[in-house]
Amino acid sequence: MEHFYALIMAGGGGTRLWPMSRKQTPKQFLPLVEDESMFRVSVTRLSPLFSPDHIYIVAGERYADEVKKQAPEIPEQNFILEPSARDSGPAAALGVAVIHQRDPEATIAILTADHHIADKAGFRDALASAYDVAQQGYIVTFGISPSLPSTAYGYIRRGQPLTQARGLQAYHAAKFEEKPPLDVAIQFLTSGEYSWNSGMFIWRADQAMAEFKRQRPDYYQQMTRIAAAVDTPAYQGTLRAAWEGFERKSLDYAVMEHAERIAVIPVDIGWSDVGSWSTLYDVLSTDDSGNCARGNAAGWIAIDTHNTLVYSGKLVATIGVNDLVVVETDDALLICTRERAQDVKTVVEHLKATNQHDLV
Amino acid sequence: MEHFYALIMAGGGGTRLWPMSRKQTPKQFLPLVEDESMFRVSVTRLSPLFSPDHIYIVAGERYADEVKKQAPEIPEQNFILEPSARDSGPAAALGVAVIHQRDPEATIAILTADHHIADKAGFRDALASAYDVAQQGYIVTFGISPSLPSTAYGYIRRGQPLTQARGLQAYHAAKFEEKPPLDVAIQFLTSGEYSWNSGMFIWRADQAMAEFKRQRPDYYQQMTRIAAAVDTPAYQGTLRAAWEGFERKSLDYAVMEHAERIAVIPVDIGWSDVGSWSTLYDVLSTDDSGNCARGNAAGWIAIDTHNTLVYSGKLVATIGVNDLVVVETDDALLICTRERAQDVKTVVEHLKATNQHDLV
C-alpha cells in the first residue's frame, strides 16, 4: 500500500462542547477523551499503517501553528492550509488535488480529527480492507452499527454484498440519508439495514478527481488550477485566487450522495463523534458511581453524586446531584443535565446574538 | 436610653456557607444578602437607636483589621479583641466586663453579626421595648416565630405574660430547649408555645455581672481581673493572662439556660440566621423562575432552570436544572441541591480531615 495516503480534515467547530470547545481552540485540539488531543490521537492511531510522509492534514490557516505543533513528525509540505473555512467539500477537494498531483496513483482515506475510536487496531484493519475494495473502483465508506435511533447522524442503507477484504464484508451503499426525524431513525434502527455515516471515505485519487469533474465541474476547475501550481512558487497565490471559487458544501452534499459505485464496510471499532457532553460521557471511563472527573481537577468531593461528568481545574464538591455535566473554564461555567446536552448550542447562539464573541 | 449599649459578637464561622465562608473570611464579613457585609449591616441597622460610641464589637484578634475597616465610625476603644476564639460565653463575659467597668449603669444588648433581619425598624423598636423590660430586672431575649419545625435552632417556651412595652408583649421564658429532633420540633411548632432562640439578649450590665457571679464564678473571677485593668496600661497583659481561665462554652450553656427572670419578646422582624445556602436562598429576592444570581456574575444564561441560586464571578450557563445551589470561588466550586445544603459542612470536615486547610 505504498500509494495509500491519509487526509485528516482538522477543521470544524464543536459548539456543543462549549465552554471547553471555542472558536480559537475547537474540540479536536483538546484532550477531551484521552491524554492527548483528539487531533493528535487521530494522527498517532494511523501508525504503523501510514508513515508520517503519507499523512496529510487539511486545516484552516488560523490553526496552522496548532496542527504543526501537535503533529511535528508530519512533513511541512503535507500541511494543506485553507485560506478560510468553507466546509468539508472544498477541504477534501483541495487535499485530493494536492495529493493526486504529487502521486497520481494515490488512494486517499479522508478522515476526521474530532471523532473518538476506541479500537485503533480494528480501525487500521478496516482502512487496509477499504484500500483493497477501493482498488476495485469503489468509493468506500465505513458504516457504524447504530446503537440507538440517533437523529444527529446521517445514515447509509446497505444494498447487496459486494466483496470481502481482509475479513470484512463490503456492501453496495444503496442510499445516503440525511439526519432523520426520530420516527424515521427508529425505522432505520429496527430494519437492520442502516449504518451511521461516519464521514470517512476511502477512494482512489484519480477516481475522486473524476467524481468531482462529473458532479462539481466548478470545483474541478479550481482543483486543476491548484494542482498545476502545487510545489511551485505560484501555489499560494493560485490557492487564494481559486479558493473563492469553491461553493461552501459538505463533502456528503457535494459528491457522496450522488456518487456512483459506493461501498460501505460495516465496522465495529468503538466510534463516537463526541458531538456533545453526553456522547463524550458515554465514551469516558467512570467510577462505581458512574462519575467521571476530567481536566486538572484539584479534587472532587462527590457526596451522593451519580452519573456525573466534571471538568474543572479547581476543587469541586457536589452533593445530591445526578446525571449532570459540569464544565468550568477560566471564563465560563456550564451546568447541564446530560439529557439536555444538545442544548449547549443554544447557549453559544445566545452568546453570538448578544455579541459576547470572546466567550464563543 | 443614654446607658443602652449594643455588643455585637462578630466571631463565629459558618462552615455551611463554604466555599464563600472561609476561616479567614467567615460569613459575617461577606455581602451574602445585602450589598454590604452582614457585619457592616449589623452595625448600620442599629442607627439611630445607638450612636457609634454606644456600639461595641467583640471579635477575635485575627479579625481586628477587618472589623475596624468595616466599621470605621466605631471608636477604637469599643473594639474588644479576644486573644483566641473561645465561643460566645467568654466573648459575652469579656464585653460585659469592659462595658460595665466604663458605665456601671449600662444596659447591654448582646447581638449577632451574622444574622439577617429584614425589618430593621422593627428590630430597633424591639430593642427599645427590650430595654424597658430589662429595667424591670429581666434578661430579655427575642423569640422568633417558627415558620417550620427546624432542628437547627434552640427553642424557648413562653410562660405567663409579663408586661407590655412599646406595643410588644413580653412573656416569662419558661424553658430553653436545645436543638430538638424532628418529632420534638414538630410538637414545639404545633403547640404554639415556642419561639426560636435568636441568640440575642438584652440585660442590665450589673445584673449580667451578678448572673455570671452566681452561675460561673470562674468566669466572674476573670471578669473582675479584666475590669480592674480596663483603660490602664495593664489591660492587654491582664486580658491575655485571664483569657485562658475562661472555659469554652456558649452563652446559652454558660448562663442563659439556668438564669432567673428571663423574659421573651416574640418578634416578627424577618429574622434568619442564614445558616446554610438554603436559608440564604429563602431570604434573597428571586426572579419569576425562582432563580437568584449573586456575586459579580458576568452573566447567567438560565435555560429551563428554576429555584436555583448561583454565586459566580464568571459567565454561568445552566440547562434543565432545578433547586440547585452553585457557588464558584477562586479555588473551589460547589454544586449542591438546596435540600442537601446542610451537608456542606461534610465537605469542610473532609477538607480538614485530608489536611487541605487552605481550602477551609
Contact residues on chain A for B320, CB-CB shorter than 8 A: 336-337, 339-340, 343
All cell numbers assigned to B260: 432567673
Nearest to B332 among A314, A346, A350 (CB): A314
- pTM for the complete prediction? 0.87
* Residue A147 confidence (pLDDT): 87
Q: Which amino acid is at B248?
A: R
Indicate which of B319, B339, B343, B357 best probes the interface with A, i.e. most A CBs within 10 Å of its own CB. Answer: B319
Confidence band for B299, pLDDT divided at 50, 70 and 90 = confident
Residue that is written with C-alpha cell 445552566 in the block: B318
Nearest to A332 by CA among B307, B324, B313: B313
For the stretch B52-95, pLDDT in tens is 999 999 999 999 999 999 999 999 999 999 999 899 999 999 99
> Are A320 and B340 an interchain contact pair (Cβ–Cβ within 8 Å)?
yes
Instruction: Supply the DSSP symbol for B49.
Output: T
Residues of chain B positioned with their CB less than 8 A from the CB of A356: 299, 315
The tens digit of pLDDT for each residue in B109-141 reads 999 999 999 999 999 999 999 999 999 999 999
Does B320 contact chain A (CB < 8 Å)? yes
Q: State yes or no: pLDDT of B296 exceeds 70.
A: no
The pLDDT score that the predictor gives to residue A298 is: 67
Average pLDDT over residues B271-295: 92
Q: Can you give the pLDDT at residue A290?
A: 97
Look up residue B226 and give its three cell numbers. 479584666
Among A121, A89, A104, smallest CA distance to A258 is for: A89
3-class SS of residue B331: coil
C-alpha cell recorded at residue B216: 460561673
Instruction: Look at phi and psi of residue A118 and say left if phi exceeds 0, alpha if psi is from -120 to 50, else beta.
Output: alpha
Q: What is the pLDDT of residue A13?
A: 73
Given CB atoms, is B355 within the 8 Å cutoff of chain A?
no
Are A156 and A180 in contact by the 8 Å Cβ rule? The answer is no
- Quick one: DSSP state of residue B146? P
The C-alpha torsion from A130 through A131 and A132 to A136, rounded to 10°, is 90
Convert the pLDDT of each residue in B221-256 to its tens digit.
Answer: 999 999 999 999 999 999 999 999 999 999 988 898
Residues of A in contact with B343 (CB under 8 A): 303, 319-320
Work out the angle between the directed axes of helices A217-229 and A205-215 (0-180°, nearest 10): 140
Residues in chain A with CB shorter than 8 Å from the CB of B296 are none
pLDDT tens-place values along chain A, 360 residues long:
899 999 999 987 778 999 999 988 899 999 989 989 999 999 999 999 999 999 999 999 999 999 999 999 999 999 999 999 899 999 999 999 999 999 999 999 999 999 999 999 999 999 999 999 999 999 999 999 998 899 888 999 999 999 999 999 999 999 999 899 999 999 999 999 999 999 999 999 999 999 999 999 999 999 999 999 999 999 999 999 999 999 999 998 889 888 989 999 999 999 999 989 999 999 999 999 999 998 766 689 999 999 999 999 899 999 999 999 999 999 999 999 999 999 999 999 999 999 999 999
Give the three-state DSSP class for A268: coil
Q: How many CB atoms lie within 10 A of CB B6?
A: 21
Q: Is A345 on the interface with B (CB under 8 A)?
A: no
Q: pLDDT of B78-88, one tens digit each?
A: 999 999 989 99
Q: What is the sign of the dihedral through the CA atoms of B213, B215, B221 and B227?
A: negative
Helix (H, G, I), strand (E, B) or coil at A322: strand
Q: Pull the grid cell for residue A210.
A: 473524476
Closest-CA distance of chain B to residue A317, Å: 5
Find the CB nearest A350 among B301, B316, B340: B301
Q: Are B56 and B7 in contact, with CB atoms under 8 Å apart?
A: yes
Q: Do A315 and B333 touch (CB under 8 A)?
A: yes
* A316 contact B CB<8A: yes
Touching check for A319 and chain B: CB below 8 Å?
Answer: yes
- Would the CB atoms of A303 and B334 count as touching at under 8 Å? no
Closest CB from A315, A316, A332 relative to B317: A332
Pairwise CB contact (< 8 Å): A326 & B335? yes
- Given a cut of 90, is residue B147 above it in pLDDT? no
Q: Is A340 in Cβ contact with B319 (below 8 Å)?
A: yes
**pLDDT number for residue A152:** 85
Interface test with A, best of B16, B309, B335 (most A CBs within 10 A): B335
Indicate which of B304, B310, B315 best probes the interface with A, i.e. most A CBs within 10 Å of its own CB: B315
Q: What is the pLDDT of residue B298?
A: 67
Does the interface ipTM go beyond 0.95? no
pLDDT band for position B14 (cuts 50, 70, 90): confident
- Of B354, B341, B359, the closest CA to residue B17 belongs to B341
- Please, which pLDDT band fits residue B297 given cuts at 50, 70 and 90? low
> Using an 8 Å Cβ cutoff, are B195 and B236 in contact?
no
Does pLDDT of B202 surpass 70? Answer: yes
What domains are defined for chain B? 4-271 (3.90.550.10), 277-359 (no CATH)
**What is the band of B353 on the pLDDT scale with cuts at 50, 70, 90?**
very high
Q: Which three cell numbers stand for residue B125?
A: 423598636
Nearest to B347 by CA among B331, B360, B337, B329: B360
Model confidence band, residue B152 (pLDDT cutoffs 50, 70, 90): confident
